[in-house]
Amino acid sequence: MLCQFTRVREALQRIAYERWSEAYWFGHGTVQPGPHLVEYMPIGSHHTWYGLLFVKGLTGFLAMLGPLLAQTFIVLVDCVRHPRGRLPLSIVFVMIVLSFGENIEIEAYLLWPALMMLGIHAREMRNSSNREFESCNAIVQS
């Protein structure tokens, strides 16, 4: 049974990648029903990255990839500098792993608390850098 699901998932990914060339920049706009080969499952629905290419094109792909890479870099740097970066790093890694198995848009209802935590982390980083800047500024002025 597992082999059948893997075969269907691989076929969906292959079809999404091949059909991406039809709408290279902006994608097809919606998922589309698949052929009998994939048991009529929607193309672009079972993998974040192939789904982005199929549904939203290169524009959507880069719109997801850019912030995800930036957030990964931010939390990696903060994790090295401060223990508060451990939880956000774990959250980002979970999101990356999930993106290869399912469509992140579908799992957004599970991930919204994680996204809130990433926002809170960014605010804490900003506030701590402001405090450090103010303390350095006070030392320079005295």
Nearest by Cα to 38 from 57, 19, 56, 25? 19
Which region among 2-11, 64-73, 111-120 has the lowest average model confidence (pLDDT)?
2-11
Distance separating alpha carbons of residues 8 and 14, to the nearest angstrom: 10
pTM of the model: 0.82
> Using CB atoms within 10 A of its CB, is residue 121 exposed (0-12), middle (13-18) or buried (19+)?
buried
What are the structure tokens assigned to 71, written together? 């957030």
pLDDT of residue 87: 95
